[in-house]
Amino acid sequence: MTRTILITGTSSGFGRETAERLARDGYRVFAAMRDIAGRNRSHADALRSQKIGVVELDVTDDGSVDRAVASILAEAGKINVLVNNAGIASVGVTEAFTANQAKAIFDTNVIGLLRVTRAVLPSMRREREGLIINMGSVLGRVTFPFVGIYGASKMAIEALTDSIRLEVSQLGVDVVEVQPGAYPTSLYSSIQRPADGDITKSYGEVGQIPDAIYKTFTSMLQGKDAPKPHDVAEAVAKLVGQAKGSRAARTVVGTSFGADKINADIAPVQKAVVDGLGLGHLEELA
């Protein structure tokens, strides 16, 4: 039977590449995005032309998430794989971001991931089968100055991924994470900047560093040797195709900035903690 896959944040970047890649592999793919009848209409039409289902889904809205998941379950009967990809980035002096800006970033990157996961997990638990792939970042493991809020949201995904993985392992559901490095996606073109310009100015030369970082990365990512978002789609496709119980908990894609080493160093510590709690059996997927 053809497996059904739901991917969030598919108007461009990793989500779009992943939807197209998995559809070519013969999976039944539902690509989720906001405003499919408005500003994202051309993106939605392009995906539909490849026989990919398109659903309206705003990860920051409970009702939108519930309606989208319900419509897929009514049409396909089940969701075998969820790829939590939707996200927004930020760069700037951390103090210069308002609390509302920080809330908005976390609402998409962290709470949004939780919303969609909560909507999909009940059907996976009933079937005692499923795979959730969370799109993290190497910045969930290492810290860049001036990317504190985005990095904090990605570090939160680390905790959520590990915790949910252990909690649902005995229910037949696998939860893993992909940690991309820097890639040329719309994440950079729509990056959030601090609203409090006065604070940024008060930092003097230090306050100018975020602009330099942004220009350096965008220039690097526009060059002929820039990494391709297709690499991330390939990593997701590989995870989807792997046998149950054989998937790595984390997959670094692209320049790791040391995240792969941190993953390796932390793994035995995390295992010792879980074993020490007497919960080692949760580390094995049923």
Cα gap 253→209, rounded to integer Å: 26
To the question of pTM greater than 0.85 for the whole model, the response is yes
Domains contained in the chain, number: 1
CA dist list (Å): 265 to 140, 151, 259: 15, 20, 10
CA distances from 282 to 150, 231, 277 (A): 30, 31, 11
Residue keyed to tokens 């905790």: 159
Residue 83: count of CB within 10 angstroms of its CB: 30
Range of the domain at 160: 4-283
Ordered per-residue pLDDT tens for the chain, 286 residues: 689 999 999 999 999 999 999 999 999 999 999 999 999 999 999 999 999 999 999 999 999 999 999 999 999 999 999 999 999 999 999 999 999 999 999 999 999 999 999 999 999 999 999 999 999 999 999 999 999 999 999 999 999 999 999 999 999 999 999 999 987 666 666 799 999 999 999 999 999 999 998 888 777 777 777 778 899 999 999 999 999 999 999 999 999 999 999 999 999 999 999 999 999 999 999 9
The C-alpha atoms of residue 175 and residue 166 are separated, in whole angstroms, by 8
Question: Please, are residues 232 and 179 in contact by the beta-carbon 8 Å criterion?
Answer: no
* Whole-angstrom distance, CA of residue 286 vs CA of residue 69: 25
Q: What are the structure tokens assigned to 280, written together? A: 């080692």
CATH number for 14: 3.40.50.720
Q: Annotated active-site positions, please?
A: 150
Q: Are 177 and 131 in contact (CB under 8 A)?
A: no
